[in-house]
Structure 1
Amino acid sequence: MLKKTTKLLVASALVAGLSTAAFAKDRVYKWKLATTWGSTLSPFIDAPKNMAKLAKEMSNGRLDIRVDASNKHKAPFGILDMVKGGQYEMGHSASYYWKGKDINTLPFTTMPFGMTAPEQYAWFYYGGGLELMQKAYKRHKVLSFPGGNSGNQMGGWFRKEINSLEDLKGLKMRIPGFAGEVMAKLGLAVTNIPSGELYTSLERGTIDALEWVGPGMDIKMGFHKIAPYYYTGWHEPATELQFLVNQRQFKRLPKDLQKILVTAMRVAAYDMYIQNYHMSADAWSKIATDYPNIKIKTFPKEVMDAMKKANDELLVEKAKESPLLKEVLDSQKAYMKKAREWTKMSDYKYLKDNL
């Protein structure tokens, strides 16, 4: 009787084990993702949507991620807190928005006069950048991954032409990240405003100037109707957005779904980069004919020199605030020095010799 009972218990355990394995394999994980962007702001909003679609397809429906735009959750600059607190399993935003909460998050978007997009991607995936980013976000109990790059951004829309440093002083400008601190050092009143409020703020005179992204996204916003002077870039040579993932929720995913999610994020991020490049190339090709009133400008040498000087001074000051920030900045500087030699030998020389 004892032997029969033992066999029944073993059989029951095996069945239970098989059922648990089958349940784990078939279980659907329903997640939510909050974005900083409005529902129509392409290609920024497209990156998380494409990621969610890829993750669902590759997992045969086992990983189902709902994407909530900022007009739904109403907290465009609350993404880090919502993912950290568990209201959302994921977020899509930009790391430099959190510099007021944690200065160590600042450099993972971009830095003035820093790396180009290919250089920065190489740093993230092969130069230790991704590991440093996880180190910075560990205290927030979230993981952070590259979320799509805008490439070199334009220097902004201005109501009046900038001919000297004096022309900048006192201007109210929307410009985030480290570039905002550079501009503040030069005498501007700097602010950050959600994308949905930018046109109205410029139209009403709440701000005198703003930088957004590039022609592919800017023209659709209509900034040129109010501020016709469009300056070339210096401040965001490789603006990388980010995917944020609640660390505890990520660990609860089966290993195969973890790999699927990481892969979907990487593919969607790169796709956003090339999508935005196409949008800007297409818009730029039409500017002269379709938007003849836009005046393309480059900041005068006096202004550029002052920006570089202010940037260098601020970098020295910021590096003293945190050992981790210094580690990240030193890593970026060293990698850029190495990569820039190849950038000059390949892309720069090719363009220089063939234009």
Structure 2
Amino acid sequence: MKKSVLRMTVCLLTVCSLLLVGILAPQAEAAPKYRWKLAQTWGTGFPIFGDAVIKMADLVKEMSNGEMEIRIDSANKHKAAFGVLDMVKAGQYEMGHSASYYWKGKDMNTMFFTTMPFGMIAPEQYAWFYYGGGMELMKEVYDRHGVYSYPGGNTSNQMGGWFQKEINSLSDLQGLKMRVPGFAGEVLSKLGVVVTNIPPGELYTALDRGTIDALEWVGPSLDLNMGFHKIAPYYYTGWHEPATELQFLVNQKKFDALPKHLQKILEVAMEFSAYDMYARSYNDSAVNIDKLGTEYPNVKVKTFPKDVIAAMKVENEKLLQASAAKDPMFKKIYDAQTAYMKKARRWTEISDYAYLKDNLE
């Protein structure tokens, strides 16, 4: 049994036991109520991402027998989609749900805990988080900001984006206006792309009106719901986000002040909802990629030309080395991920890759 599967089994058993305790435990006559608020980057009713947050909050309430409740405020309410870290840090919200690479302008080291171009796939990255020292490194980075960060759900490998025009060569990237976050944006800017980051709720309008020429969002699990296939006919496979992990942010002082049993309940609820989002995202991508092929035959699924991918790899490595030379913490995390990926990739190659290669050819 793989470690990720074993950890999921343990997590499920823990959830069940905590639920059983909540059901059987007698009601306290004057149990204190902990009412927390969570700010999320996503809008009201946002599927998959928002559903993971709702599942987490419901689990906390049920497992704590109503002792702890978490109110969820979407970006529609707090009006600061990319301000979640600051609000949690300041204590305005006890919790947040977002993506770590959104904070690269504040701290470049946060990007590693979402995903990196040409990096680990989701099973490798989860193994790194929980058994390869990733959680400890993430804590070291976020301790500087006064918050705890936990894995918050994985989309698995993301698509390379929606494009109005076909990309046939490097020259087609020159002056292209594209929404793409994280380290991938740094890489593409070196290749002549005009990079921007736009909140999720504004993406369709920006592409439709020509404010941008291309965008990457997630993958079939969410992209079809956003309607991008109606205005951009070229859908490229991924290179930049092989294992996009969202995050739960928790104010350290607020968390440390919780009773121990509520700390545990909160951690279990976050971990379970993160794993559940990974499974949900994978399922919905499988369903929607089939739907895309049958219902929208005008959309062409493409891969970037080999010379474009090669240039991306070169610029990616240059940027990594330059950042590592300037920041010891960046180098520490980069070296750790590189070493772990090399170790994990050997197993990936002789297990999943070999199986798929033999059965897909």
Q: Which amino acid aligns with 1:317?
A: A
Q: Is 1:116 the counterpart of 2:121 in the alignment?
A: yes
Q: Which amino acid aligns with 1:96?
A: Y
Give, in angstroms, the shift of residue 24 of structure 1.
11
Task: After superposition, give the CA deviation of every residue in 1:252-285 in whole Å (9 maximum; x if it has no partner).
Answer: 1000100110010000000001101111000011
Q: Is 1:70 the counterpart of 2:75 in the alignment?
A: yes
Q: Which amino acid aligns with 1:328?
A: I
Equivalent residue number for residue 7 of structure 2: none
Task: After superposition, give the CA deviation of every residue in 1:30-61 in whole Å (9 maximum; x if it has no partner).
Answer: 00000000112210111111101011111101
User: TM-score of the superposition, structure 1-length normalised?
Assistant: 0.93
Give, in angstroms, the shift of residue 171 of structure 1.
0.2
Number of aligned residues: 334
- Which consecutive unaligned segments of at least 5 residues does structure 1 have? 1-21
Q: How does 1:238-317 map to 2 (within 5 A)?
A: 238-317=243-322
Task: After superposition, give the CA deviation of every residue in 1:125-149 in whole Å (9 maximum; x if it has no partner).
Answer: 0000001000000011100000000
Q: Which of 30, 46, 66 is the aligned partner of 1:41?
A: 46
Q: SS at 2:49's partner residue? A: coil
User: TM-score of the superposition, structure 2-length normalised?
Assistant: 0.91
Runs of at least 4 residues of structure 1 off by over 6 A? 22-25
Q: Is 1:26 the counterpart of 2:31 in the alignment?
A: yes
Give, in angstroms, the shift of residue 322 of structure 1.
1.5
Task: After superposition, give the CA deviation of every residue in 1:67-121 in whole Å (9 maximum; x if it has no partner).
Answer: 1111111100000000000000000000000010111111110000000000000
Q: Which amino acid aligns with 2:321?
A: V
- Which consecutive unaligned segments of at least 5 residues does structure 2 have? 1-26
**Counterpart Cα distance in 2 of 1:206 and 1:89:** 35
Q: Label 1:173 to 1:113 Cα distance change in 2 as closer, same or farther (>3 A).
A: same
Q: SS at 2:165's partner residue? A: coil
Q: Is 1:129 the counterpart of 2:123 in the alignment?
A: no
Q: Which of 170, 173, 176 is the aligned partner of 2:178?
A: 173
Identity %: 68
Give, in angstroms, the shift of residue 321 of structure 1.
2.5
Q: Which of 313, 337, 342 is the aligned partner of 2:347?
A: 342
Q: Is 1:105 the counterpart of 2:123 in the alignment?
A: no
Q: How does 1:190-201 map to 2 (within 5 A)?
A: 190-201=195-206
Equivalent residue number for residue 59 of structure 1: 64
Q: SS at 2:238's partner residue? A: coil
Q: Which amino acid aligns with 1:143?
A: Y
Q: Cα RMSD (Å) of the superposition?
A: 1.2
Give, in angstroms, the shift of residue 23 of structure 1.
8.1
Q: SS at 2:229's partner residue? A: helix
